[in-house]
Chains A and B, each alone.
Chain A
Amino acid sequence: MSARESVLVPVWQRLKSWEGMLIVILAIVFLINSLIAPNYLTVGNQINLFILSIERIIVAVVMAFLIINGEIDLSAPSIMGLSACVTAFLFSQGVDFGTALLISMSIGLACGLFNGFWVAIVGLNSLVVTLSMLICYRGLARVFLEDRSIGKLPEWFNSLGQQKLLGPFPLALIIFFALLAFAVVVLHYSGFGRRVYVIGNNKDAARYSGVKVARVKMTLFIASGMVSALAGLLLAARLGAVRGDLASGFELDIVTMVLLGGVSIFGGSGSLYGVFLSIMIILNIRNGMSLANLSGHFQTGVIGLLLICSVLGPNLAGQVRASLNRRRRIRPLQGSQPNGPGLSQDTDQVLHASSSSE
């Protein structure tokens, strides 16, 4: 009983402290930004900072599911590019919007299905599959547009990206928050969400206890494909022009957002609240640094530094605490009688806690 408690408590504390840490970081970022830039806290700027990377954060929500599940989808940005290129190509051939939307969504579906087939049914490693598909889907996008760029998208399609739909909120932002709310319910309050965690923790154990692993993984890859296709359309609408290399290089940004949110790359832990906080932090840092005229590469570097520090800080603190605890507990042991298994078990626990933070 006591053993179970002492295993559960550190995990719970860690989760709690992770999101707590993110909130503190976010508060600091808010504070510094509002001191530097007077127009930072206006509603227009706050919405603008979301809009500037809305496609990435939409995909990041689904990516969180996949990484918690122990998989990864590096091909998402290529699916974005492919769906946008196909839609633009169809527009230029005079196809109406409904058909184009349908076709581009089914492309997302097909890409997700294809990824899912190799990962969930054949059993290949998702990193390998989606890495080669990152190249392949991008290549297909180039097949449609070659090296042209299509700029003459219909007027109303372009306005989808910027036009305010509901009060000050444009369509893409509403889609993001709707998706986030839906995702929170699915991941944290449904049986499907529990299965996602269980599979991420231990795939074999999940299979032996009757969880349909392949079906869950397939669902997630299809969802990732379709959401990426939608995000690709939103990106095309926002930029007003489509090229073959649309959205290339987003994969690392998206994975960074998820990992900074406290999702373990090995699967099985993390939450969407953390991911949302990390999205807020990254967007606000980027916005503040843009207002301070710092280049995009510099911003990415700072976010990389933050990513390392956010993991390194708690690790080092944990190591220091563990070694202090060990010293404090072992000292009374010397001289007095070895006090049965209870004491040594405790030190074991401390050792485990420190080694589990790897």
Chain B
Amino acid sequence: MNTLVRRFRPEQIRELFLVFLILVIVVFFSVQIEGYFNARFANRLSTSVVVVAILAVGQTLVFLTRNFDLSVGSIVGVTAYLVGQTLWHHPEIPPLGAVALAIGIGMLMGSINGLLVAYGRVPSIITTIATLAIYRSFLVEYSHAVPITTNNLPDWIVELPAGKLFAVGQVEFRVLFALLLLVVVVFQLVLNRLPFGRRLYAIGSNPDAARVAGFPAQRIVFTAFLLSGGLAGLAGFVFLSRFGNISVLAGVGLEFASIAAVVVGGVSNNGGSGTVFGAFLGALLIDLLENSLFRWQAISEFWRDAILGMLILLAVAIDHVVIGRLRIAWARAGLQMTTKEPDEQTEEVTHVG
């Protein structure tokens, strides 16, 4: 037991638990639904998870600093609309240019959030509830209720969701999913390896101590919001390519979807704990549940949301109980070790962050 506990950090146990839950769901529905887990389902899942998972990565960065970003739903809508409109009038813009434009627009909106929260000292929930409304009303006024439709977009962006890098049998490794994996890996490395990432954890676990230690707290919180905005812009680009038809209501409700993913993924909203990979698993779990319940004939489609909400709660509750137990066991083991080998102590402490 001790060696097992020593080998894993609580965050890793949490991620393993999520993987286990995902497997349980797959096995359960495989028994219930005939021909459930086929290549088409895997392909559909890998496309549908992208938007929320990218948002969840950005939300994780903000959550780590003890803040919220509720405005991402509107950022997605505004970015999708503006990029769609630009491509409509200038179809010659190359794909990378469109992505850069999307990220830029997102970062602009994210920087407004960041300025208000970090330098204006407005609580993040107030700021982002307000900017959620402001960005949305900007979109409504700006668009004059003219929707973007698939017909107006250049072909490459409409075909992008089906585009694949390579295929193993019928399971395709699609471009958008590759983009998502890239985002997850890059930000996981940033959090683990770069000083900026470690400082995000430090500020979230103890803002006062971080300030006393001389961290540029304001700049770090600002950067977290900036990155969250940029990722929401990227998600807006994916949203545009996936749906093609963008009305003024595009992206409504995505803020709650991303928060649900992050929370199921084990990122604490008290800051300072959680991983990008966990948030990705959370988004995958919820998306898998949604898609599976949709295909389950045993229940009417109207039961879907009711069961989904309940299952999200159950996932969090089980996690709370299991991880709580493990954390106690782990702390006890750590305590025993530190009394025996004082040198290990510092190493253990650095793992906590």
Contact = CB atoms under 8 A, between A and B. Distances in A.
Q: Report if A and B associate in a common complex.
A: yes
Interface of A: 118, 122-125, 127-129, 131-140, 142-143, 146-147, 249, 252, 255-256, 259, 264-266, 295, 297-305, 307-308, 311-312, 315-316, 319, 357-358
B129 A304 contact: yes
A139 B304 contact: yes
Given A305-B130, A308-B127, A139 B306 contact: yes
Nearest to A145: B302
B302 A142 contact: yes
B302 A143 contact: yes
A308 B122 contact: yes
Contact of B313 (A127, A129, A265): A129
Given A132-B316, A301-B134, 8 more contacts: A122-B317, A139-B309, A265-B123, A299-B137, A300-B136, A300-B137, A304-B137, A308-B116
Interface of B: 70, 116, 120-123, 125-127, 129-134, 136-138, 140-141, 248, 252, 256, 259-260, 263, 269, 300, 302-310, 312-313, 316-317, 320
A299 B313 CA distance: 34
Contacts of A138: 305, 309
27 contacts: A118-B317, A122-B317, A128-B269, A132-B316, A135-B308, A136-B309, A136-B310, A137-B306, A137-B309, A139-B305, A139-B308, A142-B302, A143-B300, A252-B129, A252-B133, A256-B133, A259-B126, A265-B125, A299-B137, A301-B137, A304-B132, A307-B126, A307-B130, A308-B122, A308-B131, A315-B122, A358-B121
Given A259-B129, A304-B129, A307-B130, A132 B312 contact: yes
Contacts of A300: 133, 136-137
B252 to A, nearest CB: 8
A301 B136 CA distance: 7
A135 B259 CA distance: 13
A311 to B, nearest CB: 5
Nearest to A78: B309
Nearest to B115: A312
Contact of A301 (B70, B138, B306): B138
Contacts of B259: 127, 131
A128 B316 contact: yes
Nearest to A138: B305
Given A133-B309, A136-B310, A311-B123, A301 B133 contact: yes
Contacts of A307: 126, 129-130
A140 B140 CA distance: 31
B136 to A, nearest CB: 6
A254 to B, nearest CB: 11
Contacts of A147: 302
A179 B26 CA distance: 49
A255 B255 CA distance: 15
Q: Which 8 A-B pairs have the closest CB atoms?
A: A136-B309, A139-B305, A301-B137, A139-B306, A304-B130, A135-B309, A304-B133, A297-B140
A136 B305 contact: yes
Contacts of B320: 122-124
Contacts of A134: 256, 309
Contacts of B303: 139, 143
B126 A265 contact: yes
A316 B316 CA distance: 39
B123 A135 contact: no
B134 A136 contact: no
Given A132-B260, A297-B137, A312 B116 contact: yes
Nearest to B138: A301
B270 to A, nearest CB: 8
Contacts of B263: 125, 127-128, 131
Nearest to B139: A297
Contacts of A122: 317, 320
A298 B137 contact: yes
Contacts of B129: 252, 255-256, 259, 304, 307
A352 to B, nearest CB: 11
A291 B183 CA distance: 47
Contacts of B260: 131-132, 135
A246 to B, nearest CB: 14
A318 to B, nearest CB: 9
Nearest to B257: A135
B130 A308 contact: yes
A133 B126 contact: no
Contacts of A131: 256, 259-260, 263
Contact of B120 (A146, A256, A315): A315
Contact of A136 (B125, B141, B252, B308): B308
B288 to A, nearest CB: 16
B68 to A, nearest CB: 9
Contacts of A312: 116, 120, 122
Contacts of A357: 121
A58 B115 CA distance: 34
A142 B310 contact: no
Contact of B310 (A127, A132, A265, A301): A132
A304 B309 contact: no
Nearest to B324: A123
Given A127-B269, A139-B302, A132 B133 contact: no
Contacts of A264: 123
Contacts of B122: 308, 311-312, 315
A89 to B, nearest CB: 13
Contacts of A124: 313, 316-317, 320
A42 B310 CA distance: 48
Contacts of B313: 118, 124, 128-129, 132-133, 136
A304 B130 CA distance: 4
A64 to B, nearest CB: 15
